Structure 1
Amino acid sequence: MNGTSSAGDEATDANGTPADANGTPAGGRATGVGVPAGIDPSRPSAARIYDYFLGGKDNFEADRAVAEHLLKLDPRTVEAVRENRRFLVRAVRHLVEDAGIRQFLDIGTGLPTQDNVHQVAARYAPDARVVYVDNDPLVLAHARALLSGGGATIVQGDLRRPDEILANPDVREALDFSRPVAVLLVAVLHFVADDEDPRGAVATLRDAVPSGSRIVLTHGTADGPYARGEESTEAYRKADRSLTLRSLDEISPFFDGLDPVPPGLTWVQRWWPERPYEDGDLRGMYAGIGVKR
């Protein structure tokens, strides 16, 4: 989901994302479902920082401080995050229309926004089923409120413990693992440190789904001439998740045992783009989809 709520009278950018008069994401305070137990507003959250970049209201002063620092390092961070969101919409449509996928396991889903996975999938296949997984109490509270009475499911889980996700009875009830499943790992693997075995987590998920399934991922990187990787990593030190930016060569092994969907692992802006991009616009994240053999 990875997202935002919005008010009708706010200024928006060209993409309809709430923004101030200067195009900066409009910040706010956590709203709607209130602040669930276990939330420390003084500790920045990766999900709420991402929400701020998308123009959301579900963030606190500590989140906005980190986000603004990241924007000072590179003002185009906002656009990279939004490009990641656009990729997700394109990917889900491809999976439904071109690959015939009807089941989605979205891990590290983030806060709800517009064009959530279940909404995009339902446009092209009303019978599509989606399971959202996250470990953030605020994400879970908002998602449960959004999905009340809907066709999607939200469960608590952590990518670092994939076996627990796969064994969750709500996941097993919602998804048929004898049929292809799209596992979505969008903007989440860079929050799993090397010593937490991210490659092992992806391999466990890959091995659990049948032939014809897809693994979809985007991953933050410090590749590129304008990257400020060390400073960006440092900005997350006090957050609930550390940031591990990886190079193209370090991200490629996540696709071991998978056949890449053209154009393969590439800049997120270049994965089936809707418009051309200049080389200077290519930054922030890599994206790719692999097919289980």
Structure 2
Amino acid sequence: MSDRRSALDRIDTTVAHPARRYNYLLGGKDNFAADRASAEAIEKAMPAIRLAALENRAFLQRAVKFLAERGIRQFLDIGTGIPTADNTHEVAQRIDPAARIVYVDNDPIVLTHARALLTSTPEGVTAYIDADLRDPRTILDDPEVRATLDWDRPIAVMMVAVLHFIRDDEDPQGVVDTILDALPPGSYVVASHSTWEYLPADAIAALEAANADGRFRARTGEQLGKLFQRLDLLEPGVQSVSEWWPQEASQPRPSIEDVAFNAIVGQVRARG
């Protein structure tokens, strides 16, 4: 209880946090007035933002299933967000109960919920650390991460809906490269990223106004591909989150204009 109280004491409920805002957009209840106000300001500029959040979440679940079915048994989920249905470990451990997952987030409320709700199968492991993607070495060198994951075997790193919170002056390419340098050959990276390139000018202007603090940085599909140019991207390459291996491929899918998120899944090349 003291750890929970300490974590909750660190939460500034007067400032919107991406994880809690995302929770609100997904229909969750673990958010505060500032998070809701921020989400609603974005929704005015981009009415399909709730659909975008749902499609982004569905992409994560499909990608985890895709990789687990291909033998990946270790996942490092960075920017976890507040737990909801079918989290990374649940999808992976349905395929192999011995799968091992580490969740990473920098919001105390996320870690509090994670420890309470993200429970592993008896055969597998789930761990949770408080760290920030902007400092990737703190993630890679964390004792819990080193102990939970076998760094001689392939690992899937999930960076879903998180890189757009790293500004250009915070060196997103350096962040990505630091992680790629640490991964064993045969590992994978799953990433999604907001894009405004298909939105009308008035929507972009409204989103820029809602992003007055400059914390958010949308990027084009080309820019996302460049961040991960060292990977062998799986087909269909850089693609809308709604179009990356959809389960109902025969059914009409939301447009990139609506979801405004691109995605990639790529494999780390053999070295040497």
Cα contact 2:198–2:257 (8 A) shared by 1: no
User: 2:242 corresponds to which residue?
Assistant: 269
Q: Does 2:108 align with 1:137? A: yes
Match of 1:201 among 175, 196, 201: 175
Q: Does 2:224 align with 1:251? A: yes
Runs of at least 4 residues of structure 1 off by over 4 A? 32-35, 278-282
Q: By how many angstroms is 1:254 displaced?
A: 1.6
3-state secondary structure, aligned to 2:111:
helix
Aligned residues: 259
The root-mean-square deviation of aligned C-alpha atoms, in Å, is: 2.0
Q: By how many angstroms is 1:53 displaced?
A: 0.3
Q: By how many angstroms is 1:282 displaced?
A: 4.8
User: 2:40 corresponds to which residue?
Assistant: 68
User: 1:38 corresponds to which residue?
Assistant: 10
TM-score, length-scaled by structure 2: 0.90
Unaligned runs of at least 5 residues, structure 2: none
Counterparts of residues 210-289 of structure 1 (less than 5 Å): 210-226=184-200, 228-237=203-212, 242-275=215-248, 276-277=252-253, 279=255, 282-289=258-265
In structure 2, relative to structure 1, the CA distance for the partners of 1:273 and 1:226 (3 Å cut) is: farther
Counterparts of residues 146-165 of structure 1 (less than 5 Å): 146-147=117-118, 151-165=125-139
User: 2:53 corresponds to which residue?
Assistant: 81
Q: Does 2:147 align with 1:176? A: no
User: 2:88 corresponds to which residue?
Assistant: 117
Per-residue CA deviations over 1:186-234 (Å, capped at 9, x if unaligned) read 0000000001111111111111011110011000010114472342243
Unaligned runs of at least 5 residues, structure 1: 1-31
- Structure richer in helix, relative to its length: 2
Partners of 2:256 and 2:64 in 1: how far apart?
27
TM-score, length-scaled by structure 1: 0.83
Per-residue CA deviations over 1:103-156 (Å, capped at 9, x if unaligned) read 000011111111110011111111110000011111111111223676310001
3-state secondary structure, aligned to 1:223:
coil
Report % sequence identity. 47
User: 2:66 corresponds to which residue?
Assistant: 94
Match of 2:97 among 126, 151, 159: 126
